[in-house]
Amino acid sequence: MGTTMTLCASHAPGMDRDANGELGTRFREGVAKARKAVATFDPELVVLFGGDHRRAFAQVAPTFAVAQTASLLPEGTIPAEDLNVPSELARELAHALVAAEFDIAVCRGVALDHAFGQPLHHYLPQDTGAQIIPIPVNCASPPLATATRTIAFGRAVGEFFANVDKRILFIGTGGLSHSPPSLEDDRHDKTEEERRAQIQAGFEAASKKIKPDWDTRFLDALSRWDEAELVRMTDRATEDAGVGANEVRTWLAAGAAGGGVPVAPLAYEPVETWITGMGVAVSTAA
């Protein structure tokens, strides 16, 4: 049996555009602490639960998926690159999840955006030898999985990896409160130019939609792994914290995979210029 660590963190393209690090200083301090904790843990395998912004999954959006081969889209400071996915292990995971009655999709050659690229570049050493298994979770194209189902899915992933003798880092990426203009409608055929124009036009309104009270309550529930409260808040995320808050489903999946132990916040900061309530939390388990 191996050991595990859980990391939950917000992502925001604006963070990478702020090349001088002038904004989100409290959050960046938390990122530095999390990066140090990850380096100390030295993961051999990263299981990354991430959302999709209707790029990889525009016409067809699986509720849950496992990538057997994958790459990162070039975006901001993130270069295009192939991910080091252990395809055979990912295939075994997919079979185990279907046997556990999760009707997942299997992805090959899928190109993933900053939801996956940012956590890999922000929290792992550049020279990491860790293998990566991306697990896309639909957080953008309703109908979405319920919070209870998402936790059960994460728990099933964790049960599979309980038999893998490696140091395993589970990452959940997205949230907290935010409402990206490009996701506030149901269009799935936007060009990148249309997407950027929509975000620019709705930026000022989106910057005022951060909900710090909601974010701090969610982080508090995460710090106690109060499953009932996490479920209640996640199932009402759209109404209470914006369409982007649905991405906390990835946090629930990662936390459940890591054993459902408390995941302690390292930092929280609402950053209007990034239109997002930014949080980062970590936990370790035996």
Name the residues annotated as catalytic: 114, 178
| Rounded Cα gap, residues 278 and 175, in angstroms | 7
- Written as six digits, the tokens of 237 are 């995320």
Convert 134-163 into a string of H (helix), E (strand) and C (coil).
Answer: EEEECCCCCCCCCHHHHHHHHHHHHHHHCC
| Rounded Cα gap, residues 48 and 59, in angstroms | 22
| Rounded Cα gap, residues 158 and 96, in angstroms | 11
Sign of CA dihedral 220, 224, 225, 231: negative
| Rounded Cα gap, residues 206 and 192, in angstroms | 19
Q: Who's near 54: CB < 8 A, 6+ residues apart? A: 61, 140, 141, 182, 183, 188, 190
| Rounded Cα gap, residues 14 and 135, in angstroms | 24
- Written as six digits, the tokens of 182 are 């490009």
What is the bridge-based pairing of β-strands 167-173 and 45-50?
parallel
